[in-house]
Amino acid sequence: MSEGEISILEREEIERKEILKRYKSLLRSIRHELTSEQKKGIRAAFDLALDAHKDMRRKSGEPYIYHPIAVARIAAQEIGLGTTSIICALIHDVVEDSNYTVDDIKRKFGEKVSKIVDGLTKIKEVFDHTDSMQAENFRKMLLTLSDDVRVILVKLCDRLHNMRTLESMSRKNQLKIASETLFLYAPLAHRLGLYNVKSELEDLSIKYTQREAYKDISTKLNAKKAARDRFIKKFIEPIKEKLEGTNLKFEIKGRPKSIYSILKKMKQQDIPFEEVYDLFAVRIIVDADPEREKSDCWTAYSIVTDIYKPNPSRTRDWITTPKSNGYESLHTTVMSHDGKWVEVQIRTARMDEIAEKGYAAHWKYKNTKDGISNEERSGVDGWLARIKDILENPSTNALEFIDDFKLQLIHEEIFVFTPNGDLKKMPKGASALDFAFEIHTQVGSKCIGAKVNNRLVPISHILSNGDQVEILTSEKQHPREEWLQIVISGKAIARIRNFLRESKRESAEKGKELLKKKFGKEKVDFNEDNIHKLVRYFKVQSALDLYYSIQKELIPADKLQISNIINKKVIASPKPLGAESAAQKSPPKKNEIIVGDEYDLPYSLSKCCSPIPGDDIFGFITIGEGVKIHRTNCPNAVSLMSNYGYRIIKAQWKDSFVKTETRFLAGVKIIGIDDVGVVSSLSNIISKNMGVNMKAITIESHEGTFEGMISVYVEDTKHLDNLINNIKMKHPTMNVYRIEVGS
């Protein structure tokens, strides 16, 4: 036997021993007692994975089997998942990487395991070559999630191990995987309450995407570790001494904030590392009986705030009002005797485990033997219900789906504080105006602006979690139709609509009086029958709409020939008022749009939303200006449709229109990191590479970032999408999206 053959055999023996060592370590990491049946299942999964991956190696050169064992250990030890999840973690890549099928898995381990593995299996082909394989895989995984939340939990374990071993990948793949993790998987872990996983994913992501910043902060944190440890010890001593004088069982520990959160704070507040005051947090974990959890936590809070003065604006009670992902804790920021702010988190052992492991920990406290309880799973299903249609729509581009899904990863609600520190729960994306109506209807109705964290903002300002909001009012203010475009809360929408209806009734009463006088002048009886004749003639929906239209002069005085209309001396137009007069004033034009059922009805494109071919559109009959074409998602669409439904007319682009050479004006907004040659690069992409004509371009720089608005002439929505995607491909960090021209 040659020396080379001996070394190969020796290597195989070393690796075999290492594999068994890691497997035994996995078994030791399982925190619950295993039955003989569970042990057999885990061993069978290990043997299957070992066989399926026997000839495979990772990019690092290690045997591939190390990966599924590591994923299973993360699932067991760091997230606390049960036996089913551990089995799935061990065999999560088997179907993709070997000849084993999902049916084989089902026969060997049962339907539950096979469904989860099927959700975790990467698809073999890319259906749309413009999509990434990961995007399609992500879609498939989420479809399976509706059956079992463990699909996503095991997937997060898989992603965490891949991130921990990303060093061996090429730079291109490092950037792709790290960016994808930061964009999707870290927010997903956050949404499921997996804070440890979320923090590590974020830190590992910026380790590769922002290498210099990561290295700089990491170095500075390590340099100050000894001083920080001394400070924490000194800070904790008086708290520990007082807590020991009570009957509370407790543990106190301090830990640094994540590098990602420090970097985020530096960017948001535009400050250097040295000015970030809360570089670490102190956590007090109380061992309390269920019925005493809240009172014991507040006892600990009282002791802390007796020793150190708290910042009133930075106290958070998520015990009384837990977050949507189950997070419970008391947070306060106090001033140390050395003049430094310190965040203190107070929670029970149960709360701490749920805070660290999110939904994955609930099974322990819901008396379920394995995995997630039905109650918790239904909560996740409720969250997914809002994206169900997107998931099951086969025509939806996978990357577009991810953009839509990303919006659903953020918490369903945020917590906002009044000037007095009262907590209000608001839907994510709520504006200052939403908050005003949450306080009181009268406050909302009179709102003219707000102070958010002592900074003056408009009523449309979107609130963030933890904001402190003071509403500014004026007796001269009142709700307007455009407010419906600003608010998202049901309470605010209902109150505004109620006011607008009442306002419409008041205007209608004035219009009714004007009409009565007109009837009197023409010596016509003001009765229900005659009013109905006017309603039919002007094609409005009701007498109320008739009166309102007269008051608002939507029906011109010269058209209000009551005697002639009632005595049928004038013939009612077959089309709603405005169409014929517009035909006389608007010259015929190239017919790209079919209005109603006609090809020749004059129209013009609305400037408020600038529709282009491919947009969903509708027509709105104006008084004197013919039919205006709007996008169905126009900022004014809701107002037009709800208040003037009788003047809405269907409209659609002609199928043959896309072959013409007509160009339409569209707006694009670009936000990104300022750099030399940004304008030149954008101009090259738009004009030279894409051959698109620009009408105008404005770029404004501000503290290292820039914001630009570009007006371009495009053929249709596909042409515009291609332009936007080309800019994104050339500048992945830029935020590029369509806006209304002139906005």
Question: What pLDDT is stored for residue 632 in this prediction?
Answer: 67
What distances in angstroms separate CA 653 from CA 157, 478, 591, 622, one per listed residue? 48, 39, 9, 20
CB atoms within 10 A of CB 579: 23
Residue 15 burial (10 A CB sphere; 0-12, 13-18, 19+): middle
* pLDDT at residue 382 in the model: 45
Q: How far is CA 700 from the centre of its chain?
A: 27
Residue 294 has pLDDT above 50, yes or no: yes
Query: What percent of the chain has a predicted confidence (pLDDT) above 70?
Result: 79
Alpha helices, H only, 133-248:
133-145, 150-164, 171-180, 186-191, 195-209, 211-223, 225-244
CA distances from 542 to 164, 480, 525, 574 (A): 67, 22, 19, 18
Contact between 736 and 682 under an 8 Å Cβ cutoff? The reply is: no
Question: pLDDT confidence of 573, banded at 50, 70, 90?
Answer: very low
Asked whether residue 570 carries a pLDDT value surpassing 60, the answer given is: no
Cα–Cα dist 150/156, whole Å: 10
pLDDT of residue 588: 36
Phi, psi of 372 (to 5 degrees): -105, 140
pLDDT tens for each residue of 525-539: 888 888 888 887 877
If pLDDT is split at 50, 70 and 90, which confidence band does 587 have?
Answer: very low
Task: Assign 387 a pLDDT band (cuts: 50, 70, 90).
Answer: very low
What is the pLDDT averaged over residues 555-578? 63
Please report the DSSP string for 586-653 in residue order.
Answer: SPP----EEETTBSS--EEE-TTT---TTS-EEEEE-SSS-EEEEETT-TTHHHHHHH-GGGEEEEEE
Q: Outline where 64-110 has alpha helix (H).
A: 66-73, 83-90, 94-97, 102-109
Task: Return the pLDDT at 270.
Answer: 64
Write the pLDDT tens digit of every residue in 237-250: 999 999 988 888 88
Q: What is the 8-class DSSP label of residue 257?
A: P
Query: Which of 218-232, 557-571, 670-684 reaches the highest mean pLDDT?
Result: 218-232
Q: How far apart are CA 188 and CA 190, in angstroms?
A: 5
Interior angle at CA 297, CA 291 and CA 300, nearest 5: 140
More confident site: 675 or 168:
168
Q: Residue 271: count other Cβ atoms within 10 Å of its Cβ.
A: 12
**E-assigned strands of 474-616?**
593-595, 603-605
Residue 581 binned pLDDT confidence (cut-offs 50, 70, 90): very low
Specify whether the CB–CB gap between 431 and 379 falls below 8 A. no
How far is Cα of residue 591 from the mean position of the Cα atoms in its chain? 40
- For residue 114, CA distances in Å to 43, 68, 89, 501, 544 come to 17, 16, 12, 56, 62
Q: For residue 282, what are the β-bridge partners?
A: 254, 344
User: In this structure, are strands 627-631 and 603-605 parallel, antiparallel, or unpaired?
Assistant: parallel
Mean pLDDT of 568-587: 43
In sequence order, what are the beta bridge partners of 470? Answer: 451
Which of 115-124, 179-188, 235-244 has the highest average model confidence (pLDDT)? 235-244
Q: What mean pLDDT, rounded, does the chain reach?
A: 77
Domain 218-365: give its CATH superfamily.
Beta Polymerase, domain 2 (3.30.460.10)
For 568, the 3-state DSSP assignment is coil
**The predicted structure's pLDDT at residue 560:** 76
Which of 158-167, 525-534, 545-554 is the most confident on average? 158-167
Angle at 191 between CA 119 and CA 172, to 5 degrees: 65
Q: Which of 277-286, 356-365, 486-495 has the lowest mean pLDDT?
A: 356-365
pLDDT at 297: 93
Give the residue extent of every domain in the chain: 11-168, 218-365, 413-488, 496-566, 579-659, 664-739
Q: Write out pLDDT tens, residues 423-463.
A: 777 877 889 999 999 888 899 999 999 999 988 889 989 99
CATH of 11-168, one of 2.40.10.10, 3.40.190.10, 1.10.3210.10, 3.40.225.10: 1.10.3210.10
| pLDDT single digits (tens) 32-50 | 778 889 889 999 999 999 9
Confidence of residue 574 (pLDDT cuts 50, 70, 90): very low
> What phi, psi does 175 have (nearest 5°)?
-65, -40
Per-residue CA distances from 275 to 226, 262, 272 (Å): 19, 10, 6
Task: Compute the average pLDDT of residues 281-306.
Answer: 91
pLDDT at 673: 82
CATH fold, domain 664-739, is Alpha-Beta Plaits (3.30.70)
Model confidence pLDDT, tens digit, residues 702-742: 777 888 888 888 888 888 888 888 888 888 878 887 877 75
pLDDT given for residue 340 in this prediction: 82
Residue 8 burial by Cβ neighbours in a 10 Å radius (0-12, 13-18, 19+): exposed
Spell out a b/e string for 657-689, using b for 16 or more CB atoms within 10 Å of the CB, else e.
beeeeeebbbbbebebeeeeebeeebeebbeee
The answer to whether 505 and 544 are in contact (CB under 8 A) is: yes
CATH superfamily, with its number, for domain 413-488:
Beta-grasp domain (3.10.20.30)
For 584-591, what is the mean pLDDT? 41
Positions annotated as catalytic residues are: 96-97
Task: Write down the pLDDT at residue 58.
Answer: 85
Taking Cα atoms as reference points, which of 252, 264, 271, 257 lies closest to residue 228? 257
The pair of three-digit structure tokens given for residue 404, joined into one six-digit string: 């839509």
Which one of 298-307, 349-358, 701-710 scores highest in mean pLDDT? Answer: 298-307
How far is it, in rounded angstroms, from Cα 121 to Cα 102? 9
Q: Find the range with the poorest average confidence among 163-172, 620-629, 633-642.
A: 633-642
Q: Which residues contact 596 (CB under 8 A, 6 or more apart)?
A: 575, 619, 649, 650, 651
